[in-house]
């Protein structure tokens, strides 16, 4: 069953056509990868999904709702979480505070809501949330740094904290923009293990953008290939690897021998 459906997405900035008639659907529980050369429009797709870019044409359906025109915060509240290519953590805060903020989506941020939010129901929810936070912290093995300000952490750990924060949102779908970019071999291995565990244990749908081909081919259920804003191929890793258009986009055309 498709949890995310994107129909005929067009996006341009001025005269620059960024996405041209891109359609795809992501099935519940799968790892769906979007790959393509630099500038192919991968991050633009995530920004359209998250609500930061507004497509000129096309519609996005998430979990039965048409989310094409609603604001980023409301999409988050519906269960759409995201990690960023350039880490977007709250730098002055500790690891734990960052993770706590992940659960924020499920609390109403309205002015009145804040004033009326007290009593036993409040306490009960706090307890539940603390349990969730602890579980996530254990799961991602960041117990030892929970009190540290995120700004002081190594790059790989910051990426992990960002993932933890996204999980604390209890999303239905997780959009990951280059989760292992700039990581060393060991950090990459850890991250891959976490992504697979998340999908398995939490039954989470993951949409991932990544340049690390070996990783993508290892973990993805299905892959979409973009080039110059257009979808040129889609399928499981074996199919995509053999696809002539993909080879052309990545390796260039083979010249006829003279």
Partner 1 sequence: MEFFLLLLTSGIAVGGVYALIALGFVLIYKATSIINFATGEFMMIGAYIFYSCTVLAGWPAIPSFLIVMAGAGLLGLLVEKTILRHMLGQPTISIIMVTIGLSSILMGLAEMIWSSQFKSFPALFPRAPIIIGDLIIRSNLFWGFVVAMVTVAIFALIFKYAKVGVAMRATAGDQLAAFSMGINVRSMFTLAWIFGSIAASIGGLIVGNIGGVQPNLGGIGLKIFPVVILGGLDSIGGAVLGGFIVGIVENLAGGYLDPLVGGGVKNVAPFVVLVIILMVRPYGLFGRKEIERL
Q: Which residues bind partner 1 (CB under 8 A)?
A: 50-52, 71-74, 76-77, 81-82, 84, 88-93, 100-102, 104-107, 109-111, 113-114, 117, 151, 165, 169
Write down the least CB distance from residue 87 to partner 1, Å.
9
Nearer to partner 1, 107 or 217 (CB): 107
Write down the least CB distance from residue 126 to partner 1, Å.
11
Nearer to partner 1, 93 or 213 (CB): 93
3-state secondary structure of 2: strand
Nearer to partner 1, 82 or 231 (CB): 82
| Beta strands at 57-62 and 205-209: parallel, antiparallel or unpaired | unpaired
**Contact partners, residue 172, CB within 8 Å, separation at least 6:** 3, 62, 63, 78, 79, 80, 204, 205
**Two structure tokens written together for 252:** 């260039």
Burial degree of 83 (CB within 10 A; 0-12, 13-18, 19+): buried
Please answer whether residues 61 and 67 qualify as being in contact, where contact means their C-beta atoms are separated by less than 8 angstroms: yes
DSSP code at position 26? E
Write down the least CB distance from residue 30 to partner 1, Å.
22
Nearer to partner 1, 175 or 195 (CB): 175
Write down the least CB distance from residue 133 to partner 1, Å.
14
Nearer to partner 1, 74 or 248 (CB): 74
Nearer to partner 1, 81 or 192 (CB): 81
DSSP code at position 104? G
| Beta strands at 230-235 and 222-227: parallel, antiparallel or unpaired | antiparallel
Write down the least CB distance from residue 229 to partner 1, Å.
23
Write down the least CB distance from residue 88 to partner 1, Å.
4
**CB contact burial 174-198 (16+ within 10 A = b; e otherwise):** bbbbbbbeebeeebbebbbebbeeb
237: left (phi over 0), alpha (psi -120 to 50) or beta: alpha
DSSP code at position 152? G
Nearer to partner 1, 41 or 171 (CB): 171
Write down the least CB distance from residue 52 to partner 1, Å.
7
């Amino acid at each position: 069953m498709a949890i995310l459906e994107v129909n005929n997405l067009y996006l341009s900035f001025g005269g620059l056509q960024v996405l041209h008639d891109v359609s795809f659907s992501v099935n519940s529980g799968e790892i769906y990868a979007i790959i393509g050369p630099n500038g192919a429009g991968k991050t633009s797709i995530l920004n359209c999904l998250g609500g930061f870019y507004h497509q000129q044409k096309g519609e996005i359906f998430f979990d039965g709702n048409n989310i094409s025109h609603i604001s980023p915060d409301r999409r988050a509240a519906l269960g759409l979480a995201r990690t960023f290519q350039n880490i977007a953590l709250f730098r002055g805060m500790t690891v734990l505070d960052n993770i706590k903020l992940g659960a924020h989506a499920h609390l109403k941020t309205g002015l009145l809501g804040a004033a009326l939010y007290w009593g036993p129901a409040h306490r009960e929810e706090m307890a539940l949330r603390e349990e969730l936070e602890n579980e996530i912290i254990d799961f991602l093995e960041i117990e030892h740094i929970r009190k540290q300000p995120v700004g002081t952490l190594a790059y790989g750990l910051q990426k992990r904290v960002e993932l933890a924060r996204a999980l604390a949102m209890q999303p239905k779908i997780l959009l990951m923009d280059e989760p292992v970019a700039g990581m060393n071999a060991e950090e990459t291995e850890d991250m891959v293990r976490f992504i697979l565990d998340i999908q398995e244990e939490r039954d989470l749908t993951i949409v991932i953008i990544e340049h690390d081909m070996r990783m993508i081919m290892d973990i993805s259920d299905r892959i979409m290939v973009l080039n110059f804003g257009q979808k040129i191929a889609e399928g499981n890793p074996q199919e995509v690897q053999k696809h002539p258009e993909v080879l052309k986009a990545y390796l260039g055309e083979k010249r006829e021998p003279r």
